[in-house]
A and B are shown apart, each in its own frame.
Chain A
Amino acid sequence: MIIADRKSLAEIQDMIKAYKKILLVGCKGCVTVCNVGGAKEVGILAASLKIARKKDGNPIEIDEKTLERQCDPEYVEQIRDVYDQYDAVLSMACGVGPQFLSEAYPGQKFLPAVDTKFFGGAVQHGIWEERCAGCGTCVIHYYDGLCPIARCSKSIQHGPCGGSADGKCEIAKDVECIWDTIVKKKIEQGRLEDLRVIRAPKNWTTARDGGPRKSIREELVQ
């Protein structure tokens, strides 16, 4: 899923400083699962912003709404009746949300309350890690299900580089060297020969390098 972190209160306050009445919109998708932008977090952020503004002698009115998903036009419709009653709309969804809202309601201003980080999952309660770079051409079958594109700091296809030490990446001691893990797994399974291959340079046209991407499923297009 998509992992996000909430922006600091100060940054959000600065973003909305000119407004007196805003709508704060959460999302029941990924950001609810990673505890950053669901109904609960919408409530907490709204209360915090209101308290801060009240303290400054400049109170703000904030209405709350949490959509099924902000990345789906059907659910984006859920604010059709109210969107123009606010100075601005603050979204707690990933970066997709405010954009779908913006496209649906060109007359309104939409602001992000979170920083969208990566595709990953929770490795333990409260800790999420990146697993996929969304490069558009999955190659993890070469590496026994582990991805060096997303998880090697240099995305190299022939690791580990000279900076790998004790299973850690050269950039920081708390970063796993995924190539160390890949190699050890191959050695344990007696398949080191799998790594005695020089791979062709990756074709990045399916990644973001090929320009904004689109996926068309003909059978579903009406």
Chain B
Amino acid sequence: MSNNGLKSGSNLEKVLKAGHFAFTGECGPPKGANVEHLKEKFEHLRGVVDAVNVTDNQTAVVRMSSAAASAIMVANGIEPNFQMVCRDRNRLAIMADVLGVYALGIKNMLCLSGDHQKFGNHPQSKNVFDIDSMQLIALVKKMRDEGKFLNEDDIDVPPKMFIGAASNPFGDPHEYRIYRLANKIDAGADFIQTQCIYNMPRFREFMKKAVDMGLTEKTYLLAGVTPMKSARMAQYMAKMVPGMDVPEELIERLKGAGKGNQAEEGIKFAIEQIEEFKEMEGVAGVHLMAIEWEHKVPEIAERAKVLPRPQVD
């Protein structure tokens, strides 16, 4: 703990600790070294979110490294939530990167296993998975709180990270998901960002269990929202994305909006969700993943009444 009682002192941590309803966004780095493109994407999020997730070779497609893109964000006065997957690096590289990004001013990180490379654009590659996301969480906590590497050697200036983890309330086996979340909290997750939620009844049930088990007392849980751009996108996600639960009613609702109005209907649904999450017991905020739709985030934030973002010292 740092002397102000904060683990990392990140803006996201301060907002959550002060009891505000957090609002985070997401930005996928460019497929190239195009810094202007990256800036254009994250500038839409300035002042609109508390932190911006920077994806790490998301869906196993090569992009500018999340570390570099996060550092560019820091240099431009926007707080990143650096994502790290276990697919592409062993424990040496993981610890080196955690120290490196902390040295560059990054204070939040999201610990993930990573999509299998079979989905991506280099399916012939060798994967690493030296450790998994659970062990990554525990490792970053050890580095931060004990000031030790995995081999127990001392770290000269430990990385004070605000440690995040992901949870998929809709993965199978359904009844086990809450226990896997509990394990991630035990491992050291300070905050959780969930997979995109579309099935609200199932999510309410999941949250009730989380509250009953006392999990939301031990971590900050941010509900994942991805606005649908069209009925086709909803159908694609329902069919093609493993572990995604898109109810038929939502697809019908988007179709019913008619051509030209489906994106607006998708945004409306997302806003209704955010309104409900604000009131839902145990939900500490929303993580808005507007995939390749960063320019829509200010409008969604405005209409969901989460602006202005709190300033916490």
Binding site for B on A (CB under 8 A): 153-168, 170-172, 177, 180, 183-184, 187, 192, 195-202, 204
Q: Which residues of A contact B131 (CB under 8 A)?
A: 201-202
Q: Are A198 and B134 in contact (CB under 8 A)?
A: yes
Chain A nearest Cβ from B119, distance in angstroms: 8
Q: Are B179 and A201 in contact (CB under 8 A)?
A: no
B116, B129, B132, B183, most chain A CB atoms within 10 A: B132
Q: Are B173 and A184 in contact (CB under 8 A)?
A: yes
12 A-B pairs with C-beta separation under 8 A: A153-B118, A157-B132, A157-B135, A160-B176, A162-B167, A162-B168, A163-B115, A163-B243, A164-B242, A165-B172, A171-B119, A201-B130
CA of A198 to CA of B134, assembled, Å: 7
Q: List 4 additional contacts besides A163-B171, A204-B130; criterion CB under 8 Å.
A: A161-B171, A165-B242, A195-B179, A197-B183
User: Given A153-B116, A171-B116, A196-B182, are A160 and B173 also a contact pair (CB < 8 Å)?
Assistant: yes
CA of A199 to CA of B131, assembled, Å: 10
Q: What total of A-B pairs shows CB separation below 8 Å? A: 104
CA of A75 to CA of B86, assembled, Å: 45
Q: Are A170 and B116 in contact (CB under 8 A)?
A: yes
CA of A164 to CA of B113, assembled, Å: 13
Question: Which chain B residues in 162-183 approach chain A with CB under 8 Å?
Answer: 166-168, 171-173, 175-176, 179-180, 182-183
Q: Which residues of B contact A180 (CB under 8 A)?
A: 172-173
Instruction: Flag whether B291 is at the interface (Cβ < 8 A).
Output: no
Q: Are B242 and A199 in contact (CB under 8 A)?
A: no
Chain B nearest Cβ from A219, distance in angstroms: 34
Q: Are B134 and A157 in contact (CB under 8 A)?
A: yes
The 7 A-B residue pairs with the shortest CB-CB distance, nearest first, are: A162-B168, A158-B134, A156-B132, A170-B242, A163-B242, A201-B131, A165-B242
